[in-house]
Structure formats: structure tokens, C-alpha cells
Structure 1
């Protein structure tokens, strides 16, 4: 690709001196914002420049920053969890968000507090580097803390190894955010990027590992996913899935969401070198002219999987076999009490849309502060924006439940499955890409859907609902049973026919659906599902089987 065809940001990256730009200098000025070029580079450091869209209306923009922590496999110590609660209260808007990629997000951080917030996260022994930007993002892994279980141990070790291997090596992060004075000792001596090069990747790159019977990290939505192949109590290899990605741009008809394709089977020893070959193929051949067409799914769509695999083999230096027959079969949200495998328990707690805050009768931050003061549990973050308490002694179960109830936190048996399997992106007021609401309206929509399901005797059914405020798809809305994608102010594209297991894309059932009309449109379809489903058939599988036309006829009859 000739240089004159490159997008502007490719030049910014190349001239940035490995992500430094002039971020350090701009941190010192009184402007509440960074320049456009530095704002782009800041993403590699784990932060997005945003403004409060609720406060626009002709007034000067109120700028702040989202700061995202990188938490491989969702593993968090109690000290790290409490540190993030402290940081959100001291430097952010008082809330902490669990993301759908098993990480933490702070919102509302002012530029004057940005360095303090990032340093505080690093002092807790987490980091924000590569949480955003054109690099390999937070590596996802099943968070279930199963003990005396070699399979789960292998997956978590792989998550740590992959996160470390694909972490950017530039000294820029240390120098800008962590270094004290000119005489501080450098923590790394490598100053180039052996995997990424000077211009890093064409676009973001997402990775994760899953079990066939528990695809809780939505492996088919990743740029590179690994499905464990288990024999006995050992992972003997992985099916490597490539080319997933949820984002699309409606104005560009050549953009689309995609589920990944199973490319090959790799042994545990091959995972990192083959993954590196995949990343380097995307680095060298991904589209650097059009950022909206730069994810690896578009390269694979253009080339076809056989050509892409051949190029990966060339970079890897050897032929790769066909995939193993193993594939995804189920999913678990890990909510509720579970045996941990060592005589202890773990407890998955649903955090609606991932937002930890103290508001009205629901005092989530206070609940976790009291719990962790009394019981310093290790924790895990889930891809459905939940939190797992690990290493619970059975004798402490009643007191833990009492603390949660005191703070208004519902236990698993008090929640419907449709609410447990629902997630939303932040959208308004902080996200600059959002065209409408998501996180702030989904709870009320879920209230209506629960009432409608109860009307048809379906309240116990597992139905996954994912909602986003725009088509970029951060909450993976194109693969669940029901997807709601912001299209215009207060209106959504309604997708049906995916599944909770995340193995296929849904189809557009109706466009420009008003927020208040979602449950009305779905009501006759729920009735049809109740009356015509096959034994054991999920809602998404039913919609996929009968098709859009049949569902539309039922909806049309109900509307007359």
C-alpha cells in the first residue's frame, strides 16, 4: 500500500516515537483537552478523551477521560478492587464499571487528574497500557476459579502468557505516567516493537480462550479465539478461530459484523508462535487506508480463509492442520453459588450493566467495601459484567448473603435468566460514538421484557439480550438471542436469531424500533415461541429455525 493512501492516523503513529507524541508536554498545559493526534495516541495508554453529552446544548463542552484497566482473564486481588473504588471516588465520577471484556473502566477523569489515576492503577499492580488502541487488547479467559482443575489452570496461565507476550514494549508508557524525575531507572531496555513495528496494527485486535461447554467469553466475536480441546483433565490443544468482530458502519455498506472462522488446531506449545504469525499477517496486510475497514475480519473476507491460512503458515514457518471437531456447545454466566473444587465456594454476583455505584437502595460499592474488609477474597470479572468472589468458606455463606441483602444486592435466585444474561455498553452521555441510550435505558426495558415473558410462562427461559447505543457493537449485540443496536435517537435495530452461546449472527428483524415499542414487538414472537418451539429449543434457535418471515407474520397479526 503506497504511503499517500494511508489514513492520517497511520502517519501520526509512525511519527509518534513509539507512542510518545507530545503527550507529556500537553499534560503540563492548562487546556482541558489534548490535540487530535495525541488524543489518538492516548488510546494506546488506556484512555479516551470524551465530553459530557448531557451538558452540550450550545454550552462549552465539558471534557473528561475514560480510563480502562487491563485485567488479563479478569483476575483481581481485593487490594486492586478496593484501589479502583478509591480511584473512582477521588479522580473519576464516583462510579466504577466492569466491562464486557473482563476489565475496569473509570469515567469522568479530568485531565488534571489523569496522571494520578493512571499511576494509582499501576500502584495496585494493574496497568492501563494496551487496554485501548491498535494493539492486542485485554486477553479474555473463562473466570471460573475452579481449583484442583488442570484445565482451568492451563487456561489462566495461557491468558497471562498471551497478555505478557503481546504487551507493547515501548518505554513511552513508563516515561509519561510512571517515571519520577530524569534519573529514574528504566524498567525495560527494549525500545522497539518486535511484534507491532513503528505503526502498530491497522486497528484493534481482540483475543480470548474458552471451553467448548462454556463459551462465556464469546470466542467467535474475537479477532483470534482459542477453543480448548480437552482430553481427560488436560488441554491437549486449541482450535484457533480467526476473524470475529462486531463493529459496523451503516453508511458504509461494505462493513459488517462477523463471527470468526475455525482456521486450525494448535498444540499448547504452538499457541503463541502461531498467534504471533496471525497478528503479523494482520499487521502487514490489514487495511491501513480506511480505519472503518481495517479489522482482520475484512482481510479474511477479501482473501478467503485458505489464502489467509497459507499466509499465516508462511509467517509461522510450517504447515498447519485442519481444526479439531471440538466446537462450542454451551455457556455459563457463573452467577450464584458454586463448588470451587477444594472444599470452598465461589459466588458470582450480577452487576447490572457492570456499573458499580451507590444509588438509592442499591449500594454496590458499599457492599463490596464491607465484604472485602471482612473477607479479603480474590475476585474475577466476567464477560457478562459480573463479579465473582473466590475462596469462600462454606461457613461464611450466610454472613456474605446478609451483607449483600443489607445493601440491596440481589442473589441469583432473585434474578431472571434474561436479566442475568443481559449486558449494555455505556453509550450516552460519555461515548462520543453513541447515537442513543444503552446502559441507562436497558434496566427499564428488561422490566418490560420480564413482565411479557411472565405473561407467557417463559420467565425461566435463558434468553440473552445485548444492547448498544450505536452499531460499533461494543456489547456484542449481533450474536445473542436478542440484539438491540442504536440507530437514531431513541430508536434501535432489533436483531433476532443469535444465541446465548454466541456461535452465529442474528438477522435484522425490524429497523428503527422505538425504545417504548421493543416489548410490544417481541410479545407475539414470545407467544409463537411458546406454542411452536421444539423440545429444548432456545428462543434464538427458534427464531433462527422459523425465520424472519414467519416471525413477521405473527407480529403483523398481533398488530391488527
Structure 2
């Protein structure tokens, strides 16, 4: 290409071992089927350990009992986490009942975990029960295909229940994008659904024979809500409406939050605006972005393989021009849009279709029967009578959507009777954590189990400064991989070691600014002392309606991250 660019289009060098694994996998089959019949271990061997991720599963073990089992000369208690593919997060009551039944009968923990990628996970499935898990999903029209590893993962869609007609259109596009970018290999159907191998040659026209260089995330966003945190995603379609009708999308590319502690070649990055496209070009443009990243992404270093690094290396304009060439289009100028928030509106909201939508706050997305709060039973009872659908939100909450006026009182009673509508503070509603211990193998510090008590203490600080009615967008993630989206929070805690975190501050409420690291490797007590002082200043020095993140930037407590590739670590 004649156009100048900052770096090479393709990174030359020794390929990462993951590239060998994919090339030798026989289009993601490996020897998974044979491994399933190996009763000598509860886990998967060799390459299969990673290949099952393409099928929506991670091999995990209970880290709370790992040392004890090692002393007993036992292998770790291996079990799988399975993540459903659920574009836009919409699920029927019938599907929910099936999911509830399997979680209760075939998982070690009995819970359903809502994720901030608008789907659910089972934790603790033994290897012998994996096929029945996949087949159970299939029976109700669901699957776990391509919810992990080097593919386009579950496609998000704003779950805004007010703009009913616009949401319905955006959701349909989320489904279309998801289906268009799925792997074409028959490996999933053959291994998990016992479908016969078809005597044809496998081809992957979009993902390629070795799939993508790294994981790839996509979102459809309906302003003014940024509940899907668009800047955490590689590819984002921002809905543009005229007279309440969807007419096209603004495309933003190259967001991502995962970093590597101490590795200054890694950084969080917000997505870059490419331009506006009419609806008719949506799938062609989505494919062009994915194939450009497929061909140009770094396959020699997985820590620098995501789309955000490709854009920084080759240049945004070069990448954008290649997308235009491959899609056969020219981007129009970005059309105006704005965000006013990203939290879920807890409680009842009436949509323009005269249906009611009840958003239930589910702390950390963990659905289980607790003493005095039988959440899982309550949702099952609602599923048995509800005539609309459920919407899983990107904030790990659940919407009972499409409730007729005649059903509203019954649904609310069930929710209240089972502890699903207990009062929570604004701070708790706007706090979120990833799973971390005991099941995540990457966790360095607690997150889900740590957050509830930590929020209690932050709530006390807020109340002491006269801010009990206010909130700070607070996120905790147990490692630097970004699952809890801490690096789009006003206050983000990133796990460094057991009981220790890096404290980031200075993001904003609408999720368009990366927070800067303010203190490194400190305890929760030190974090609370630091926050107490900062919240005290915020209470007395803030401007009208100024959020905490905006305040700490305006007051010079931290500098904003303006150019992450160069100043994220400064």
C-alpha cells in the first residue's frame, strides 16, 4: 500500500503456540471426543484443554481445596465452566426453566451466573455431564458455540426496555451479526450433539483455518444508554434512528481493557470512530473488520494480538481504508449521538408498547437460593407464569420484560416474596465484579466474594460525607484481563495478589474514559482510606452534578488518559 502507516501490516516472526494448536486441530475437533471417554482424569489433556474453549467451556478447579487435594495426592477437582451463546441477552421462560433444572441437578454449585456479556454461565460441570449440558441447550434452541477463545464472542445489545420498537430492531441485528460471524466447522455438532460427520471439506471463509489472532468482542449500542460499555469491545455498532426507526449505525473499532501487569506494551484503549453506514452494509462491514483483524492481527505475541494493538500498529486510517475496500463501501461522517448513562434502571418501567418491564438487581449476577432470599426458586416461579421474555443485561442484572398489566401484580409478588426486589443503595446498583476465586484459574485476588462487604464500607463512607443518595461507578476484577470492566470505571480495582489491588480512578459515568492507576499493589484497607479522603473532597469541592471521576480529573488529582498507547502507564 502506498499510504504511510506507523508499522507493518503483518507482524513477522515465530508464531505463538496457539497458532500451531489451531492449525493442527482439524477445525477445532482435536481429540476432544476421545478425551470425553477417558475416565482416568476429570480434565482434558494436551491441546484439548484449550480447544474446548472454542466450544464455550473453560476447564477449572476449586482453588479453595486445591492444596488439600494435592496433599492427598489427588488431582485438582476438575470441572468445566460452560458459557451460553445468547446474542442480545434475550431468553424465553421455557428456556430458563430448562437452564434452572440443569444447574440444580448437574453442577457442583447449583447456581446460574449472569455475566456482563449478557449471557449465563454454568460453573462446576463434571466431564461426564458435558454432553447432556450441550444437548440440553440444543433442545431449547441454544448453544455454547464460540463464546470463548479466538472467535467473535457473544454479541451484546443494549437492553433498554423503553424504546421497545428500536430495541427490537437492534436486537435482530445483534443476532444477525452473531450468526454471520460464527465458525462454520461442524466440530461442535459432531462432538456434543452426536450429529454425523458430513463428507465435505471444512471451510472458514470469514474466520480462516486458524481463526482469529485473539478473542474478539462485538456490541450493538442504542443511545442514550451505554450499558454494554462499548469501549470494552473490538467492534461496536451505535444505532442511529430517525423518527423512532433504525436507519443505520456509527461504527467504532478497537476498544479493549485487558492488560498485563507491568507490561508496558499492553494498555486499555477506547474504540475509534470509523464513520456511519446504512443498515444494508452492516454484515459486509462486520465481516470486513473481522477479516482485516484476522489477516493483520499479531500472531507472534498473544499479549499484543487484539484489534486495539493492530489499529495502533498500522494506523486507524489504514485499517479503516482496508475495511472500506473489503466491504466495498465508503464510510459517511459519524452521525451525532450521546450517552447519558450506563446503569440499569432497577424496578418497573413502562415501555411504549404499553408492556411493563421489571429490572431485578442481581448482585454479581449470581443466582442461587440464599437463606431468606431464594432467588433461584423465585425466578423459576416467575418463569412458570411469565408470558413475555427475560433479558440479561450487561450489568449482570435480569429484566422480566413484556409483562402485561394484568400480570404485573402477580410477577411483583413473586419477586418480592423471593427477595428479588430488596432495596439496595445507588452505590450497590452501580458496582460490579468478575467471578475470580474460587473457580477462575487466572484470578490473582478476590472479586465476586469481596465486593458485597467492600460496598458496605464504601456506602458507609458515602453516607458519612452526605452522599448516600449518590454513586460512583465501581468495578472489581480479580486479574488484569478485564472481565469486570474495571478499566472503564470511575473507581476500578484490578487484582494484583491475594488481598491486594491496583487502584484506578478517573473514568467517567458514561464509560468513555479510561481511568488512570492512582495507587499500586495496596490492601483493601488502604483503598478505603484513600477513597475516604477523595470522596470527602468530592463532597465539598464538586460542581453541580459532577461525577466522582470527572471531579478527580478536573481537580488535578489524576491526569486523564488521552493517548493510551503512550500514556496509560505514566
Moved more, 226-235 or 444-453: 226-235
> Which residue matches 2:21?
12
Q: Aligned-pair distance for 1:73? A: 0.2
> Which residue matches 1:429?
438
Q: Secondary structure at the match of 1:238?
A: strand
Q: Aligned-pair distance for 1:287? A: 0.5
Q: Aligned-pair distance for 1:2? A: 8.5
For 1:108 and 1:123, how far apart are their aligned partners in 2? 21
The one of 142, 147, 171 equivalent to 1:126 is 142
Go from structure 1 to structure 2 and tell me whether the alpha carbon gap of 1:2 and 1:426 turns closer, same or farther (over 3 Å shift). closer
Moved more, 425-434 or 189-198: 189-198
The one of 149, 172, 178 equivalent to 2:187 is 172
> Which residue matches 2:46?
36
Question: TM-score scaled to structure 1, two decimals?
Answer: 0.93
Let me know the Cα RMSD of the aligned residues.
1.9
Q: Secondary structure at the match of 1:12?
A: helix
Q: Does 2:241 match 1:226?
A: no
Q: Does 2:130 match 1:99?
A: no
The one of 492, 504, 525 equivalent to 2:501 is 492
Q: Secondary structure at the match of 1:403?
A: helix
Moved more, 9-18 or 319-328: 319-328
Q: Does 2:75 match 1:70?
A: no
The one of 50, 59, 66 equivalent to 1:49 is 59
The one of 376, 383, 392 equivalent to 1:381 is 392
Q: Deviations over 1:181-226 (max 9, x none)?
A: xxx586x978311101110000010000112211111111110011
The one of 523, 527, 534 equivalent to 1:518 is 527
Go from structure 1 to structure 2 and tell me whether the alpha carbon gap of 1:123 and 1:246 turns closer, same or farther (over 3 Å shift). same
Moved more, 394-403 or 471-480: 394-403
Q: Aligned-pair distance for 1:3? A: 8.4
Q: Aligned-pair distance for 1:519? A: 2.4
Are 1:428 and 1:436, in contact at CA under 8 Å, matched by a contact in 2?
A: yes
Are 1:9 and 1:37, in contact at CA under 8 Å, matched by a contact in 2?
A: no
Q: Secondary structure at the match of 1:548?
A: coil
Q: Deviations over 1:328-351 (max 9, x none)?
A: 343341321000222221100010
Are 1:286 and 1:296, in contact at CA under 8 Å, matched by a contact in 2?
A: yes
Q: Secondary structure at the match of 2:134?
A: helix
Q: Does 2:363 match 1:347?
A: no
> Which residue matches 1:255?
266
Are 1:212 and 1:330, in contact at CA under 8 Å, matched by a contact in 2?
A: no
Go from structure 1 to structure 2 and tell me whether the alpha carbon gap of 1:223 and 1:516 turns closer, same or farther (over 3 Å shift). same
Go from structure 1 to structure 2 and tell me whether the alpha carbon gap of 1:319 and 1:395 turns closer, same or farther (over 3 Å shift). closer
Aligned residues: 544
**1:196-235 pair list within 5 angstroms:** 196-235=207-246
> Which residue matches 2:167?
152
Go from structure 1 to structure 2 and tell me whether the alpha carbon gap of 1:2 and 1:100 turns closer, same or farther (over 3 Å shift). closer
Go from structure 1 to structure 2 and tell me whether the alpha carbon gap of 1:386 and 1:197 turns closer, same or farther (over 3 Å shift). same
> Which residue matches 2:153?
137
**1:332-371 pair list within 5 angstroms:** 332-371=343-382
For 2:530 and 2:125, how far apart are their aligned partners in 1? 40
Q: Secondary structure at the match of 1:18?
A: coil
For 2:518 and 2:159, how far apart are their aligned partners in 1? 33
Q: Aligned-pair distance for 1:146? A: 4.4
Are 2:190 and 2:197, in contact at CA under 8 Å, matched by a contact in 1?
A: no
The one of 66, 83, 90 equivalent to 2:98 is 83
Q: Does 2:490 match 1:475?
A: no
Q: Deviations over 1:116-136 (max 9, x none)?
A: 111111212111001112100
Q: Aligned-pair distance for 1:157? A: 1.1
> Which residue matches 1:192?
203
> Which residue matches 2:124?
108
Q: Secondary structure at the match of 2:259?
A: coil
Q: Secondary structure at the match of 1:444?
A: helix
Moved more, 321-330 or 308-317: 321-330
Go from structure 1 to structure 2 and tell me whether the alpha carbon gap of 1:189 and 1:533 turns closer, same or farther (over 3 Å shift). farther
For 2:470 and 2:310, how far apart are their aligned partners in 1? 38
Q: Aligned-pair distance for 1:327? A: 4.0
For 1:341 and 1:505, how far apart are their aligned partners in 2? 35
Q: Aligned-pair distance for 1:32? A: 1.2
Q: Secondary structure at the match of 1:478?
A: helix
Q: Aligned-pair distance for 1:389? A: 0.3
Q: Note the residue ranges of structure 2 that are not aligned, 5 or more in a row.
A: 1-9, 561-570
Q: Aligned-pair distance for 1:359? A: 1.7
Q: Deviations over 1:467-487 (max 9, x none)?
A: 100011101110111111101
Go from structure 1 to structure 2 and tell me whether the alpha carbon gap of 1:547 and 1:68 turns closer, same or farther (over 3 Å shift). same
For 1:82 and 1:422, how far apart are their aligned partners in 2? 28
Q: Deviations over 1:495-515 (max 9, x none)?
A: 111123111101111112212
Are 2:157 and 2:222, in contact at CA under 8 Å, matched by a contact in 1?
A: no
The one of 453, 460, 465 equivalent to 1:451 is 460
Q: Aligned-pair distance for 1:77? A: 0.3
